[in-house]
Structure 1
Amino acid sequence: MLLRPPLQPCILKQPMKYIAATLITTALLLFTSCKKDPEDPASVVQPIAMSVVKLTVKPVWANAPFDKNAVYGSAGGQRVQTTLLKFYLSPLELVANGTAQRLFDADLFDVTNGAVQRVLSIPAGNYQSLRFGLGLPPEINHIALNTIDPNAPTGSNSGMYWSWASMYRFVIFEGHFDNDLVATGPLPFNFSLHTGRDTCYRARTFPLPLTATGADTTRITINVDVSRFFTDGNQVLDLSQGAVWHGEPDGFALGMKVADLEIGALSVEAE
């Protein structure tokens, strides 16, 4: 019987250069599959350039600087001296192509002693108008006082909150007056006009074309002409017919007149 030698297992032998080539190819494929696609420049969020805004709220009497110690002749036929004037602006916004950029929600300005300034910021761009309200809109006017920082413009330390009404004074306008225009002595009577309540909130939009850039400071001035608190050329505030109103239902017509005159006394300019 013829015996055959046992079969040997077949071992495939690959050349070393083939193995090396395979490893290199695999590594290249892995590297290529892990490499990120280049970002689309249009999808990269660019930082927004901001512009500094210096806001000045300035009291005047007609075309002259306002002086709380001066006695003026009013359109109502009285000699008047204003000893306290402070008010809320809320909100303050610049408008660009119908889109509003808010500078602040609400701020309190006491201009009794002269102009008051704020330094704010907005996105750089071209704007067409400025809008704000004199007073507080209902959503702020009815906020619970205990939820607000006492030192905030609408906080308890502002001296603007009516506890009896659970809402705010919008404008405090106080001083002295005399019905005798030719007298020279002290003013014998007091006036105290505090607008408030939602129906006394007044909002206006002012055309104000300006370009705000990141390189320059934009300056905006809101002029408060106290002489026009007494007339707008149509309505006249005669203090002899009513010199006190603190939001009571009685005399509400006086409060509405005062609110109309006060918003009409504001004007704006930019540089």
Structure 2
Amino acid sequence: AQQGALRLQFQPTFNGQRVAFDSTTYQTTSGARITFSMLKFYVSGITIHGMDSSSISTSDHVLVDVTEPHEVDVPGAPWGRGRAVSFTIGVDSIVNEQGPREGALDPRNGMYWTWATGYIFLKLEGTLEAPGVARRVYEIHVGGYKAPYRNTFSVTLPVEGRSWREPLIVDVALDRFFDAEPAFDITKRPSVTDAR
């Protein structure tokens, strides 16, 4: 079968609207008004699942920075139709245990804790203000791969019968991050570092 590249296009949204970095204010269900200045995260283990139960995987780690439009090309996608695409957000324990690497995993990318000896899987930063809370910066940095605090998670996107010729838009719904259950009140924890 003829092959090409699957193009994943990561698109940050808030309540269904595309996020404008450093310019638009969004309101969480807890009443905080927030802006976004940075969103970076690692994607690894991208797997393309074909209609015939075949699959093609890549072990590469990709640093996704969606502050600007960001696309990830995955070579080897069959030009036919697909069933699903799956990937992991974060860096697996094996790579973390091996220490600093090069390329996307180079510590110079600002996604490595030297004090905790491990990768930051996700960085989300911006400003916040709320009734009774003066405008300030917030920073959410998440990592950690050891039980019981494994902060990697798998994503599977069903794409039944979809052609790989068009980019696959991956909606990064930031409103769900702030409005999830149990509720996360950013005004009470504006600086979160989870490296367990």
Decide: shared fold, TM above 0.5. yes
TM-score (norm 1): 0.63
Query: How far, CA to CA, are the matches of 2:59 and 2:123 in structure 1?
Result: 21
Query: How far, CA to CA, are the matches of 1:171 and 1:111 in structure 2?
Result: 11
**1:92 and 1:133 in contact (8 A); partners too:** yes
Q: What residue number does 1:38 align with?
A: none
Deviation digits for residues 75-126 of structure 1 (CA, Å, limit 9, x no counterpart): 222011111111111121111354431245210111123x212333224244
Deviation digits for residues 220-266 of structure 1 (CA, Å, limit 9, x no counterpart): 1111122221123x3322112222122256xxxxxxxxxxxxxxxxx
2:83 to 114, 117, 128: 128
Query: How far, CA to CA, are the matches of 1:76 and 1:139 in structure 2?
Result: 38
Query: How far, CA to CA, are the matches of 2:166 and 2:27 in structure 1?
Result: 36
Q: Does 1:102 align with 2:57?
A: yes
Amino acid at match of 1:236: A
**Structure 1 residues 240 and 212: alpha-carbon distance in aligned structure 2, compared to 1, 3 A threshold:** closer
Q: Percent identity?
A: 20
Q: What residue number does 2:26 align with?
A: 72
Classify the secondary structure of the residue corresponding to 1:188.
strand
- Counting only pairs closer than 5 Å after superposition, residues 167-182 of structure 1 correspond to structure 2 as 167-180=118-131
Asked which structure has the greater CA Rg, the reply is 1
Q: What residue number does 1:140 align with?
A: 95
Deviation (angstroms), 1:205? 1.7
**2:40 and 2:66 in contact (8 A); partners too:** yes
**What is the root-mean-square deviation in Å for CA atoms of aligned residues?**
2.2
Classify the secondary structure of the residue corresponding to 2:176.
helix
**2:14 and 2:173 in contact (8 A); partners too:** yes
TM-score (norm 2): 0.85
2:40 to 69, 75, 86: 86
Which of the pair has the greater relative contact order for Cα pairs under 8 Å at 6+ separation? 2
- Structure 2 gaps of 5+ residues are none
Query: How far, CA to CA, are the matches of 1:74 and 1:121 in structure 2?
Result: 38
Q: What residue number does 1:58 align with?
A: 11
- Counting only pairs closer than 5 Å after superposition, residues 1-271 of structure 1 correspond to structure 2 as 49-68=2-21, 69-96=23-50, 97-103=52-58, 105-113=60-68, 115-124=69-78, 125-145=80-100, 148-149=101-102, 152-180=103-131, 188-198=135-145, 199-212=150-163, 217-232=165-180, 234-247=181-194
Deviation (angstroms), 1:206? 2.1
By percentage of residues, which structure has more helix?
A: 1
Query: How far, CA to CA, are the matches of 1:80 and 1:204 in structure 2?
Result: 26
- Structure 1 gaps of 5+ residues are 1-47, 250-271
Query: How far, CA to CA, are the matches of 2:188 and 2:41 in structure 1?
Result: 24
**1:131 and 1:206 in contact (8 A); partners too:** yes
Moved more, 155-164 or 123-132: 123-132
Query: How far, CA to CA, are the matches of 1:164 and 1:117 in structure 2?
Result: 31
Query: How far, CA to CA, are the matches of 2:81 and 2:72 in structure 1?
Result: 21
